[in-house]
Structure 1
Amino acid sequence: MSPTSTPFSAELRAASKEAHQGAESQRYISALVAGDLDRAGYTALVMQHHVIYEALEGAAEAMRHDPVAGPFVDDALTRLPALAADLEFLLGADWHGRIEPSPATVSYAGRLGAVCASSPEQFIAHHYTRYLGDLSGGLHIGRSVARHYGLAGDAGAAFYRFDRITSPKAYKDAYRARLDDLPLDEEGRAALRAEVLVAYRHNTEVFADLARFVPAGDAEVAA
């Protein structure tokens, strides 16, 4: 990167700004943060997250030693154990057999399985979209969820806690620096940018599907 060129992390952020805003503005997210869902409506999101992260973190194991993608694989980010604990609290010991992935989630997980274990660029795109979101707006969502849905401590909302990351801002800064230093040509960067948009599209479709849990009055106001 030359001194006057735009950092790649800034390019990614600019290229995905509209898609990011579209995901955040989904009425399910508005209802979730406002505390307008019932416990089942919240639990449905935890189920979808488990399916999504099972696919992504499975791919992370395949990419752990990849020279391009490997530096992004960090056990401090791993979400599956927290999601399992949340689902056990919310659904009981038989939670695994009670997970109901939506069609949008099945499609999202299918995309992760199709590209993330074989393409470093596409893996990084999905990794970036999910985990940097978790360390940004996700922290705010976690505080709202715990308050509105009566989840004391980690019980039911452990997904939103990153106990091994003491400073989310410092972590995100270092993550963006790794993006800026990626040894990719323009074709590789273009592939990564394009896949970030795919990731946001899938994420938005999951939220749109979950809108069925938004009470009718809230849906009418948000429309």
Structure 2
Amino acid sequence: MSDMTTPFSARVRAASADAHETAESQRYVSALLAGELDIAGYAALVVQHHAIYAALEAAGDRLRDDPLAGPFVDDALIRLPALEADLRHLIGPDWADRAAQTPATIAYVDRIRAVCTASPERFIAHHYTRYLGDLSGGLHIGRSVARHYGLDGAGVAFYRFDDIPRPKVYKDAYRARLDALPLDEVAANALLSEVLVAYQHNTDVFAALAGHAPADGGTLTTAAAA
């Protein structure tokens, strides 16, 4: 039986700790942070992110008035315009015609579309996994990407939250909303299990991009080293 005295946000974090570590330990992620990719290898991730956030933010638009999910839908978090700006810079104005989603990304998008509108608690699970991650490790990733790949503003807009000047304060308030959710144990378990599903999809997306990383993990590409 779960400990109902533990804040729900702490339960979510503890339940997903191993899955979070697995996602972050993927070869593509280490290559990205080390500057071992070329620009095309980085742009491939931006393409996948665009598809994922298009699905998630469409679900959020439909759930703005939902009593459970609505309080989590915040325009300060919206990533789609930034992603489109990044793709125009990285690939060109015709990026939509040249972008390719991996099967792992298609599966991730399909999952979001299948469960989020019908299950507000599962939407919250995907929302939490993406946006709280963006405001945590994502900020570090953005700084590393900008430094290694010579990007300043254009190309890394996804990692900037101009309307959230104090990420820690925002995250604390977000966790307080999680703690205040009026969930019975069935709904709580649905949210917890969907967080693990979301992390697995994230891991699968990174694994699908591993071919962009050097096999030996030690040789920088010309673009990354420039």
Q: Residue 218 of structure 1: CA displacement?
A: 1.2
Q: What is the match of residue 168 of structure 1? A: 167
Q: Is contact 2:36-2:218 (8 Å) kept? A: no
Q: What is the match of residue 214 of structure 1? A: 213
Deviations 1:26-74, CA, capped at 9 Å, x for gaps: 1100000000001110000000000000000000001110000000000
Count of paired positions: 216
- In structure 1, C-alpha distance between the alignment counterparts of 2:151 and 2:168, rounded to whole Å: 25
TM-score using structure 2 length: 0.94
Q: Is contact 1:145-1:157 (8 Å) kept? A: yes
Q: What is the match of residue 108 of structure 1? A: 108
Q: What is the match of residue 41 of structure 2? A: 41
Q: Residue 217 of structure 1: CA displacement?
A: 1.7
- In structure 1, C-alpha distance between the alignment counterparts of 2:182 and 2:97, rounded to whole Å: 42
2:186 matches 1:191: no
Q: Residue 219 of structure 1: CA displacement?
A: 8.2
- In structure 1, C-alpha distance between the alignment counterparts of 2:117 and 2:218, rounded to whole Å: 38
- In structure 2, C-alpha distance between the alignment counterparts of 1:60 and 1:118, rounded to whole Å: 12
Q: Residue 216 of structure 1: CA displacement?
A: 1.9
Deviations 1:77-135, CA, capped at 9 Å, x for gaps: 00000000000001111111111000000000000010111110100000000000000
TM-score using structure 1 length: 0.95
Q: What is the match of residue 68 of structure 2? A: 68
User: Residue 183 of structure 1 aligns to a residue in which SS?
Assistant: coil
User: Residue 66 of structure 2 aligns to a residue in which SS?
Assistant: coil
- In structure 2, C-alpha distance between the alignment counterparts of 1:91 and 1:182, rounded to whole Å: 41
Structure 2, unaligned runs of 5 or more: 220-226
- In structure 2, C-alpha distance between the alignment counterparts of 1:117 and 1:95, rounded to whole Å: 29
Specify the code of the residue in structure 1 equivalent to 2:199.
Answer: Y
- In structure 1, C-alpha distance between the alignment counterparts of 2:147 and 2:218, rounded to whole Å: 22
Structure 1, unaligned runs of 5 or more: none
Specify the code of the residue in structure 1 equivalent to 2:76.
Answer: A
Q: What is the match of residue 55 of structure 1? A: 55
Q: What is the match of residue 177 of structure 2? A: 178
2:207 matches 1:203: no
User: Residue 179 of structure 1 aligns to a residue in which SS?
Assistant: helix
Q: Is contact 1:27-1:219 (8 Å) kept? A: no
2:15 matches 1:18: no
Q: Which runs of 4+ in 1 moved over 4 A?
A: none
Q: How does 1:88-99 map to 2 (within 5 A)?
A: 88-99=88-99
Identity %: 69
Q: How does 1:117-132 map to 2 (within 5 A)?
A: 117-132=117-132
Deviations 1:189-212, CA, capped at 9 Å, x for gaps: 000000000000000000001001
